[in-house]
Structure 1
Amino acid sequence: MAIHARGVVSVIEVIVYIPALVAAFMVCSRHGFSRASGWVFTIVLCVVRVVGGICQLLTYSNHSSGLIQATIIIDSIGISPLLLATLGMLSRFVDWISARGHPTFTVKQFRLVQLLITIGLILSIAGGTSGSVSPDGSVKISSISKVGIILYIIAFAAMAFALVVSSGSRSSVPPQERRVPVVVAIAFPLILVRLVYSAICLFLPSHLFSIIDGSVPVFVCMAVLEEFAVVAMYLGLGFNLKKLDPSEQGELSTRPWKAKKNRKHGRSQRPDGQREGQHGEQWEGQGQYYPPAHVNGA
């Protein structure tokens, strides 16, 4: 079985992402495995890339359409943990801004972006399974996959907007936490290039841009290196940030995956008896955030 240049890249991905997976578990052990916090998605991305690399290597000995479809699906779904991890970093930063009494975004808005990414993930999986492989080995991309990448791009644009708006309040957060928007800002151009590569592969496939047999240098320069860099930056950030106490964790970074109905109605002001050090609640329909007393007075 001869391994071509693309196979060499797959081997390198497996070699890189296995230790990165160990580091990601260490970061999550430090900060928690909450999906909203974002750290857990570095684990997901590492697992996806290891499995994807193995699938790519298997295609050299097994050219079945099922294995090729699996390779397409894994390549597409790898973007979603990258975006969700970024959303988690933004959640932490915006929470600190809100705790200083300058709320910029609500839980509902972040959950909407999260929903777009999740739907994009579902469509990417569905599109990969509905795609077809012709006898000559060329791949016909499903329109469903194209809708999925469009949703990814919309979610990315929303996060970019959130970063730009929130960065104006960067001076109001603790010095250590100011690293978060800097790292995310550096990661954004890399993620954009990664999205552009996938979009071109889906909408304008060619000998240069193809998920299965495109140009290896283009693939490495527009996809592989970008993901390596973003994962490394996020893991480095995780090792350098302190673990937040429960009293320091805000509504965005601890938001439930699904919206929960407010069981108490008619509340429009801060409830009596709220304990010192607790984050206030964000009331449905109002988007008003009450920071913890000890943080607001800092």
Structure 2
Amino acid sequence: MTLDSRGYVSIAELVVYVPAFVLAIIICVRHGIRQTSGWIYTLILCLVRIVGSVCQLVTYSNPSVGLIQAYLVFDSVGLSPLLFATLGLLSRLVDWINTERGPILQATHFRLVQLIITVGLILGIVGGVQQGSSQSTTGTSPQPSSVSQAAIILYIVAFAALVGILLLSFGYLSYVPSKEQSISAGVAIALPLILVRLVYSALSTFTHSKTFSILGGNVGVFVGMAVVEEFLVIIIYLGLGFIVPKLQKGQQGEVGNGQWRQRRERPIKFTSLRGANLA
């Protein structure tokens, strides 16, 4: 089995994501699964990238249609955990603002963004399977389908919503504890990186340039616009997982328990987005 440059990239991903996966588990245990505020999705992304890299490496000795489809699917769904993780972190930030100041956003807004990302994820999986099937049928580089294009459009919409939530929260950071404010800084750094990653996916999906082809594209462009960005976002979010304190039981969200209906009697407890099952 002779590896090409893409194969060495997969090895590099394993070197990064295997220890990151372990750290993500530690963080999820530290904060509690129901209060992970997005870190569960960093764990999922690490797992997705590990399995995807293994599938890509195995294709060198067994280039079966199933393995190619699996690699394409895992590549296409990588954006959704990044967006989910960002949404979860922002929900924790806004939750503090809602509790201390009063509502600036409701859980319904976050559920809507969550729905958009989820539909994009489903379409991305379907599109990845279709690409793998077309590659096996024609024997040429897989061509993105309209389903994959629809997934990218939804991801772009979700990304715009995340930017809007972050910008809105900037005006109320004085209501957020100092250690929790690091979330806004971390997300502000991560969003441009996610944007570059999103642009790469859009170019690989909407253009027919071989440079951005998923299987045979330029490796330097792939590393510079996709791999490195994901590495950095994971590092940032894992760092936040160790910086922000664990929430105490009394700080747990209330939306999921239906207590948001008590907002007139207890306005300071109006809503808490962590109960919206985003974490």
Normalising by structure 1, we get a TM-score of 0.84
Q: 1:160 maps to what in 2?
A: 163
Q: Larger C-alpha radius of gyration, 1 or 2?
A: 1
Which has the larger share of helix?
A: 2
Letter in 2 for 1:205: H
Q: Which deviates the most, 120-129 or 137-146?
A: 137-146
* Structure 1 residues 196-275: aligned runs within 5 Å: 196-251=199-254, 269-270=264-265
Partner of 2:78: 78
SS in 1 for 2:14: helix
SS of alignment partner, residue 37 of structure 2: coil
Q: Matches of 1:33 and 1:142 in 2, distance apart?
A: 36
Deviation of the 1:64 alpha carbon = 2.4
Report the alpha carbon displacement of residue 215 of structure 1 after superposing the two structures with TM: 0.5
Q: Deviations over 1:31-62 (max 9, x none)?
A: 12138721111110000000010111122222
Calculate the TM-score normalised by the size of structure 2: 0.90
- Separation in structure 1 between the aligned mates of residue 115 and residue 263 of structure 2, nearest angstrom: 27
Aligned to 1:148: 151
Is 2:190 the counterpart of 1:171?
Answer: no
Matched, 1:110 2:107: no
- Identify the match of residue 136 of structure 1 among 139, 143, 147: 139
Q: Which runs of 5+ in 1 are unaligned?
A: 283-288, 290-298
How many Å apart are 1:78 and its aligned residue?
Answer: 1.1
SS at match of 1:175: coil
1:13 alignment counterpart: 13
Gaps of 5+ in 2: 273-279
Percent identical: 51
Q: Which range is displaced more, 60-69 or 88-97?
A: 60-69
For 2:18, give the aligned amino acid: I
Cα distance 1:269–1:187, how it changes in 2: closer, same or farther (>3 A)?
A: same
Partner of 2:63: 63
| Aligned counterpart, 2:269 | 280
- In 2, Cα distance between the equivalents of 1:47 and 1:186? 23
Give 1:120 deviation, angstroms. 0.5
- Relative contact order higher in (CA < 8 Å, ≥ 6 apart): 2
Query: How many pairs does the alignment contain?
Result: 269
Q: In structure 1, give the amino acid aligned to 2:141.
A: S
Q: Show CA shifts across 1:228-279 (max 9, x none).
A: 000001001101111011222335xxx65xxx9x6999x78327xx9xxxx7
